[in-house]
Every structure is written in structure tokens, then in C-alpha cells.
Amino acid sequence: MIPVFTAASGRVIAPDLIGFDKSDKPVDDELYTYGFHRDMLMAFIRHLDLWNITLVCQDWGGILGLGIVPDMADRFDRLIVMNTAIPVGVSPGEGFDNWKAFVRSQPDLDVGALFKRGMPYLSDEEAAAYAAPFPCQDHKAGVRRFPELVPVEPGMEGVEHGERARQFFSRDWGGKSFMAVGMQDPVLGLPIMKELQGFIRGFPEPMEVPDGGHFVQERGEAIARAALQHFQSQ
């Protein structure tokens, strides 16, 4: 995606959430909370003084990112949304519940194997690159915690932000929007994304990526080109 956006004279900023990739990885599992990540992202945006933002989000990028837009609405102009949700205290389904239970049983989760399972076309070298930031169990606190933090039960931290985001996007959002769906995603696939589409004012029909799984951004070049063409036509 990044080369497509930069070729179109865009500035691309891709933050790593704390606990992932090149960001710091605190080893205390309990440090990782919904509010911890949310506050970090909002501080990041303010620190860089970002405006005219196109939010490109997938999975937790949407769970967190879409949830902060109402609090910083004047900074966001466009959305590119992929395989995510705005949770409000209800599980997205059995697939998520099974995933959550699986991660809970795997404190030393094999990250490379996980990506290979979701994207079997990855080479061993590419899978190893995904796994490289997590050389041992201590580095995987963030990985372990993320499924536990999704606001899928009433009263969980983040439910109120999800409810507010749904109201904002259905009533007040006036920016441009684009959606792409990895059709092979067993958890956040087309049914969940069509539900999300219904909450966002002015959302067009989604781009369906037939061979895209949960990590649909691996098909990002085609998605980025389609999104830019859509924005330019509006």
C-alpha cells in the first residue's frame, strides 16, 4: 500500500502499537489494556500534529482507530477500512470465541505459523520476517493480550467508545470512505463488514478480495489503487 500512496504524493505514517514490531515490548501482560493503546494512539496523533488524516485500518487498527475518530473528528477526512469491527459488548461470533480460547492456550504463540495459516501463499522467509520481532515468550505479552481486550462483553473497557463511534459514524461522519473485505476471513469477513458498512454514513459497497484472508492488507496494492480511484471520483 505504502508505495501507491507515496506515489500519489501522500505522506504515510504507520505506527507500530506498543508490544508489536519495532515498538517497545513491555513484558508485563497486565500493562496492555484497551485504554493504554487508545491513549498512546491519540497522543501519537497530537504529538505529530496530524491533520487531513486518511485512516487506513484493519483488525485492531479499526477497533481502536474508528473508536478515536469521534474525539478527534476535525483531524480525519477519509477512511479505508479492512476486516475490522466496532465492538460494543457483543462477540462477533464463534470464530472469534475459538480464536480467543486458542491464544489463551498458547502463551508462546508461533507468530510465523499463525501468519502462514492465514496466508498460505507466504514464503517461509516472509513468515519468519513476521515472527522476527517476537524471538521469545517474553516478547509476546501484547500478542497474548489483544484477544482478551476486544470489547465483546457488556461493561468491558472500550464498549462506551464503540457505542459513541457507531453513533458518530451513522449521524455525523461527512468524510469519504472506502471498504475492502478479505473474503476468506473466518472471523471478520463479509457478514461482519456488511454490518459495519451499515453503521457508517455514506459508505459505498465494499471491494471484495476473493483470495484475501484476515490479513487482507497483504493484497494492499490493489486495495490502495481502488481506494484512490474511488476518492478521486467523488
Domain containing residue 52: CATH number? 3.40.50.1820
The H-or-E segment that residue 124 falls in is helix 124-131
pLDDT tier for residue 234 given thresholds of 50, 70 and 90: confident
Q: 40 CB contacts (<8 Å, ≥6 apart)?
A: 17, 18
Residue 161 designated active-site: no
State how many domains the chain has.
Answer: 1
Cβ(78)–Cβ(175) below 8 Å: yes
Query: What percentage of the chain has pLDDT greater than the value 70?
Result: 100
Q: 23 CB contacts (<8 Å, ≥6 apart)?
A: 15, 16, 17
Catalytic residue among 28, 59, 71, 124: 59
Domain that holds residue 121: 2-233
Mean pLDDT of 178-201: 94
Catalytic residue among 74, 110, 214, 230: 214
Question: What is the length of the chain?
Answer: 234
pLDDT tier for residue 200 given thresholds of 50, 70 and 90: very high
Residue 59 designated active-site: yes
CA distances (Å), origin 34, targets 62, 80, 142: 13, 22, 11
For residue 19, give the C-alpha cell. 508490544
Question: What pLDDT score was predicted for residue 133?
Answer: 94
State in Å, rounded, how far the first CA of the chain is from the last one: 21
209 backbone dihedrals φ, ψ, rounded to 5°: -110, 100
State the Cα–Cα distance between residues 40 and 160, nearest whole angstrom: 18
Tell me the whole-structure pTM to 2 decimals: 0.94
For the cut 90, the answer to whether the pLDDT of residue 118 exceeds it is: no
Three-state SS across 126-178? HHHHHHCCCCCHHHHHHHHHHHHHCCCCCCCCCHHHHHHHHHHHHHCCCCEEE
Mean pLDDT of 142-152: 95
Cβ(23)–Cβ(141) below 8 Å: no
